[in-house]
């Protein structure tokens, strides 16, 4: 559902068909990393084979710790529209899959590969990103959205807060998620029209997530 004075196309992501030149490689790499990391963390938990844990930690180190390759703990330029906007609050949904990475890091605690120093460095990145989500106008606007964007923002906050031990943010996330309108658990007649007007969270094409 569009806001007053906005078209649905402006509120939601620009479609690839409309903007074929949008740069989406960063988002695609992020999605691939989240899938691979989750699989490696799960493999270690199931098998106890340290090779899986070591591979997962190497990937995470490159994404979040190594100064030469780390992702900034912010989304200032996500879901930009060429010639119109350098970034938008709705881009926060682009890091939805990092929720799985945060849970994967928790699962890796106890492995030899995730040393105390490495754990602190990786958790520090998520603490910084959680702070950005909780203080930057983009994060604040997204967490107040009344559709799937708001739900996805609070899901991320919950997972990042759990990893970093932020009990206040975790408690607030639980309360907000319990109150949110979920299409999967609500009868069609009670579903939020704003949520129903939006496509599924991960089906929205977007631009760079860095």
pLDDT of residue 106: 97
**SS3 letters across 119-173:** HHHHHHHHHHHHHHHHHCHHHHHHHCCCCHHHHHHHHHHHHHHHHHCCHHHHHHH
| pLDDT tens-digit series, residues 5-25 | 444 444 444 444 455 566 677
Spatial distance between the Cα atoms of 38 and 106, rounded to a whole number of angstroms: 11
Q: Residues of 78-98 as b/e, b for ≥16 C-beta within 10 angstroms?
A: bbbbeeeeebbbbbbbbbbbb
- pLDDT confidence of residue 83: 85
Q: What local confidence, expressed as pLDDT, does residue 97 receive?
A: 94
**How many other CB atoms are there within 10 angstroms of residue 121's CB atom?**
16
Place of tokens 């975790």: 170
Distance CA 210, CA 207 (A): 9
Residue 10's pLDDT is 41
Q: What distance in Å separates the CA atoms of residue 80 and residue 64, rounded to the nearest whole number?
A: 23
- The whole-chain average pLDDT of the chain stands at 82
Q: How confident is the model at residue 186 (pLDDT cuts 50, 70, 90)?
A: low
* pLDDT tens sequence across 52-104: 999 999 999 999 999 999 999 999 988 888 888 888 999 999 999 999 999 99
Residues forming a β-bridge with 85:
81
**pLDDT for the residue numbered 179:** 83
Q: Does residue 2 register a pLDDT over 60?
A: no
How many Å apart are CA 70 and CA 30, to the nearest integer?
Answer: 12
pLDDT score recorded for residue 149: 93
Binned at pLDDT 50, 70 and 90, residue 205 comes out as very low
Question: What are the two backbone dihedrals, phi and then psi, of residue 109, each rounded to the nearest 5 degrees?
Answer: -65, 125
Instruction: Extract the tokens encoding 100.
Output: 């799985």
Residue 19 has a pLDDT of 55
Q: What is the DSSP string of 49-79?
A: -HHHHHHHHHHHHHHHT-TTTPPPS--TTTT
Backbone angles phi, psi at 180, to 5 degrees: -70, 150
Residue partners of 136: CB distance under 8 A and separation at least 6: 74
Domains in the chain and their CATH numbers?
24-183 (1.50.10.100)
Confidence label for 116 from pLDDT (cuts 50, 70 and 90): very high
HSE (side-chain half, CA atoms, 13 Å) at 26: 20
Res 31: pLDDT = 92
Judged by average pLDDT, the poorest of 4-8, 112-116, 124-128 is: 4-8
Taking only the tens place, the pLDDT of each residue in 161-183 is: 999 999 999 999 999 998 874 54
Q: Counting beta carbons within 10 angstroms of the beta carbon of residue 125, is it exposed (0 to 12), middle (13 to 18) or buried (19 or more)? A: buried
pLDDT at 86: 86
Give the pLDDT confidence score for residue 199 in this predicted structure: 47
Q: DSSP secondary-structure letter at 3?
A: P
């Amino acid at each position: 559902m569009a806001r007053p004075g906005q078209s649905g196309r402006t509120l939601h992501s620009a479609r690839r068909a409309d903007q074929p030149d949008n740069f989406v490689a960063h988002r695609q790499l992020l999605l691939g990393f989240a899938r691979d990391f989750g699989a490696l963390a799960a493999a270690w938990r199931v098998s106890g084979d340290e090779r899986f844990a070591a591979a997962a930690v190497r990937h995470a180190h490159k994404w979040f710790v190594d100064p030469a390759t780390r992702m900034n703990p912010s989304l200032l330029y996500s879901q930009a529209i060429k010639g119109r906007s350098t970034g938008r609050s709705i881009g926060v949904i682009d890091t939805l899959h990092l929720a799985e990475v945060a849970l994967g890091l928790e699962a890796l605690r106890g492995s030899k590969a995730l040393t105390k120093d490495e754990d602190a460095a990786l958790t520090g990145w998520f603490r910084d990103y959680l702070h950005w989500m909780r203080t930057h106008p983009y994060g604040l606007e997204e967490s107040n959205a009344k559709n799937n964007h708001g739900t996805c923002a609070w899901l991320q906050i919950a997972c990042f807060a759990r990893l970093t031990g932020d009990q206040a943010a975790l408690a607030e996330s639980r309360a907000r998620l319990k109150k949110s309108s979920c299409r999967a658990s609500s009868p069609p007649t009670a579903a939020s029209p704003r949520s129903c007007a939006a496509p599924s969270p991960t089906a929205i094409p977007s631009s760079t997530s860095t």
